[in-house]
Amino acid sequence: MRKGKTFIICGPSGVGKGTVVARLLASNPTLYFSVSATTRPPRAGEVDGVHYHFLTKEKFREWIDADEFLEYAQFVGNFYGTPRRYVDRAMDQGRDVLLDIEIQGAEQVHAKRPEAVRIYVAPPSWAELERRLIGRGTEDMEKIRSRLERGRQEFAVAKDFDYFVINDTVNRAVDDLLAIMRSEHCRPDERIAEINRH
């Protein structure tokens, strides 16, 4: 059986990754979404074990010490990390894995697993991003400013990514992402292995 591929999705806060990811999962039920661990408190409507594993700082530290994370990073005052075991299990089952992580985490995964595909989800403009982030109403102005600043720093680094997807409409972004995932499965190594299996 073929092994699944890892797709890393990065993009600034407020760009709409959550919506895009939800639509992607709905149109591709075999795709496995990696639920991250975080020390950030849950937002209204967020469910433990579904959106994140919400951990105390002490528990997060325990997971680091036990080498439970494929990667972890600090983002605007909180820790976020990808638990390794579920990702590996899904890939062994032949499922593609989606990681929604910030850029330092993406770099760590890239260093360990260079075959992972890095995709940057960009806003149509910075003004639009600010509008979306304020409209979301989940952070105060100081946090919004930190997140925007961080977004611009990440943008500069993301030019080395494999793909850029502009989220002007969710439909276009989801179409592009599905096309990328499909194309990545047409690479010679995978196709040759498939032919040789039969």
Q: What does the radius of gyration of the chain's CA atoms come to, in whole angstroms?
A: 17
Those residues with Cβ within 8 angstroms of residue 113's Cβ, 6 or more apart along the chain or in another chain: 6
6 binds ligand 5GP (CB under 6 A): no
Residue 96 in contact with residue 2, Cβ under 8 Å?
no
81 binds ligand 5GP (CB under 6 A): yes
Between 141 and 195, CB nearer to ligand 5GP: 141
Quick one: which of 6, 13, 39, 167 contacts ligand 5GP (CB under 6 A)? 13
Residue 106 in contact with residue 10, Cβ under 8 Å?
yes
Those residues with Cβ within 8 angstroms of residue 95's Cβ, 6 or more apart along the chain or in another chain: 4, 30, 31, 32
Site string for ligand 5GP, 23-62 (x = CB under 6 A): -------------x---x----------------------
Tokens found for residue 82 = 């990808």
176 binds ligand 5GP (CB under 6 A): no
102 binds ligand 5GP (CB under 6 A): yes
Residues that bind ligand 5GP (CB under 6 A): 13, 36, 40, 71, 73, 75, 80-82, 100-102, 104-105
